[in-house]
A = this chain, B = another copy of it.
Amino acid sequence: VRSRQKTKPLRRPLERPDEAAELAKQSPRRTLGGARMSEVAELAGVSRMTVSRALNEPEKVKNELRERVLSAVRDLGYVHNHLARSFSSQRSNVIGLVLPNIGNSIFVPTIKGVSDYLRPLGAHLMLAEAAHNIDDEERAVGAFLAQRVGGLILHSREHSPATLRMLETTCVPVVEMGDLPDRSLDMVVGYSNFEAAKAMTLHLAQRGRRYIALATLNKNPVVTERQRGFLAALDELGMANKGRMITVTRGVEGGANAVAFVAEQAPEIDALFCASDVSAVGATLECARRKWPVPERLAIASFNDLEVLRFLTPTVTCLRLPRYEIGQRSAALLMARMHGEEVPAKQIDLGFEILHRGST
């Protein structure tokens, strides 16, 4: 509780020392914080603007004054109010990241990539979830725009008309993480699910596999692209009628079930391409349980590069996807835009790599 001097304080200062506690109980808690910039200015014997400059553009303030300001900041334990700054400057250093599912570890490297890029720039990250559906995304985007974030990263390809309208009218820079090539809002960073799936399918064929199965989750845009890539590869190989697509549930279990399906319903299949999160782990372990030699009886390939895959027996071939880099580059593009820089490429394809290992 600090004393203020105002001619006519509408929000009067507290009179009694215990009044603070009472107030806190009555009304929602406040984010007051400690000293204000004007108090720092007073203590340092300068104007608020000099304090503001000393904090934001130190080089524009003479050494002596800057020292005095910074020491006043320390003495008062002043914490620069970025909320007021954003409000006043109409410019925010917070960005919003919308992910399909915060609970999916697959996105961890991406979040980390974003976070690592933002930190040294003094920017901050807000996280929201849009459970793989357009309306949730609309809510998340709306909430972020309400918070007046300086930029947005969306991990999705589809947006509701209302989302598009909001994005358009607010002119907030947006980066989409997603499949490439893509008709984009503005900037996109990602890799091609089509090309990646195709490349891995070709790899399996090249390793002598004749009957390849693709295991995916229920249809969604990403799954569709991977299926297209898979089919395109088979087509190119003249093996169109030898492919099979199966749908699995999420998790390790899904992969195990896929192997069970092969055993029971489609014994001709000699390669399983697991294009859904951790299913390759389940598939490999299930083969071990059934004492199926991998890759002789069933070759296994994974879409996602999980650390465990390197430690299974046999080690599992997978795609290395640029998940961390996607986070980094998205953040970089966004920050560049937010600082008004020219952004050269509008679509950045970060590619992928096949890590050939024991399972194929």
Chain A residues proximal to chain B, CB less than 8 Å: 24-34, 77, 79-84, 86-87, 90-92, 94, 102-105, 108-109, 111-112, 115, 119, 122, 124-129, 142-143, 145-150, 165-166, 169-173, 251-253, 256, 278, 281-282, 285-286, 288-289, 307-308, 310-313, 337-340
Contacts and interface: CB of A to CB of B under 8 A. Distances in A.
Contact of A173 (B29, B87, B165): B29
A150 B147 CA distance: 14
Nearest to A30: B90
Contacts of A145: 33, 79
Contacts of A82: 146-148
A203 to B, nearest CB: 24
Contacts of A338: 28-29
B124 A125 contact: no
Contacts of A126: 94, 124-127
Contacts of A90: 30-32
B102 A115 contact: yes
Nearest to A136: B119
B313 A289 contact: yes
Contacts of A337: 29
9 contacts: A29-B338, A31-B172, A33-B169, A33-B171, A79-B145, A79-B170, A111-B127, A252-B310, A288-B313
- 4 closest residue pairs by CB, A with B: A103-B112, A105-B105, A83-B148, A33-B170
Nearest to A23: B340
Contacts of A308: 252, 278, 281, 308
A252 B170 contact: no
A164 to B, nearest CB: 11
Contacts of A31: 86, 90-92, 148-150, 170, 172
A180 B143 CA distance: 35
Contacts of A86: 31, 83
A115 B127 contact: yes
Contacts of A251: 307
B256 A311 contact: yes
Contacts of A143: 122, 124
A49 to B, nearest CB: 14
Contacts of A307: 251-252, 278
Contact of A339 (B28, B80, B125): B28
A131 to B, nearest CB: 10
Nearest to A123: B143
A77 B111 contact: no
A103 B105 CA distance: 9
Contacts of A91: 28-31
Among A77, A80, A149, A311, residue most surrounded by chain B Cβ atoms (within 10 Å): A311
A22 to B, nearest CB: 11
Nearest to A173: B29
B33 A94 contact: no
A256 B310 CA distance: 12
A244 B170 CA distance: 61
Contacts of A256: 311
B170 A34 contact: yes
Contacts of A312: 285
